[in-house]
Amino acid sequence: MSDDLLTYPAVQNYIANLVPPREAELVEMEAYAEKNDFPIIGPACGYYCYQLARMIKASSVFELGSGFGYSTAWFAKAIKENGGGVVHHTVWEEALSERARRHLVKLGCADTVQFHISEAVAALKGVDGPFDIIFNDIDKEQYPASLSVIKEKLRSGGLLIIDNMLWHGRIFDKKDIAPTTMGVQEFTRRITNDPDWIVSLAPMRDGMIVAYKK
């Protein structure tokens, strides 16, 4: 095979096309995100989160940053199939929380979701753990400070999933000293150098780190 065929867009399209057919409501959420330029993890990463939650039989998930509920839907689907539990959805805005609730009701999984309108890390501090999975998709400059709280609240054998770890390629630009870029880089350094974690980065979409807490 010619190396010039192995491009980033080609790989991402190939991975996305492997995702099985989705519920109409999920497809509608994807269309809304594209039309309104709203960042979501997308079908490939959503399905990956669903797979990971099913693999470890998760019954408790805390999302740090949930948007209008797209990632929440994938986790809630897994938890229902695992026999029940709770997904914590956290956003700053009441309007986002209400939109998420409407989507999740239509998907039949709102009964597994607890909604928080709060700064995400503060919400995590205020909820009893430990959790099977913590999903981190907050403002990137806040990533490093969130790690100690996450580590405290995640059970041993649990998974931390962090989005945007390739940060649109900006992590490779040595001249980029934006707080967001530096936040992603610092978080990556901290977690990969901490012996309490087993860490891999999956380069699908914008990069997802999956970290296993020993």
What are the distances in angstroms from CA 157 to CA 79, 149, 182, 196? 17, 16, 28, 11
> What is the per-residue pLDDT for 5?
84
What are the residue ranges spanned by the domains of the chain?
3-213
- Model pLDDT, residue 121: 96
> What is the rounded (10 degree) CA torsion for 128, 184, 26, 64?
20
**Contact predicate 134/86, CB 8 Å:** no
Model confidence at 2, pLDDT cuts 50, 70, 90, reads low
pTM for the structure as a whole: 0.95
- CATH number for the domain formed by residue range(s) 3-213: 3.40.50.150
Please report the pLDDT score of residue 200 as a whole number: 97
Helix pair 42-55, 8-17: axis angle to 10 deg:
60
Residue matched to tokens 């990956």: 48
Q: What is the mean pLDDT of the chain?
A: 95
For 132-177, write each residue's pLDDT tens digit.
999 999 999 999 999 999 999 999 999 999 999 999 999 999 999 9
Task: Tell whether the model's pLDDT for residue 3 goes beyond 70.
Answer: no
Looking at the predicted structure, is the pLDDT value of residue 123 above 70?
yes
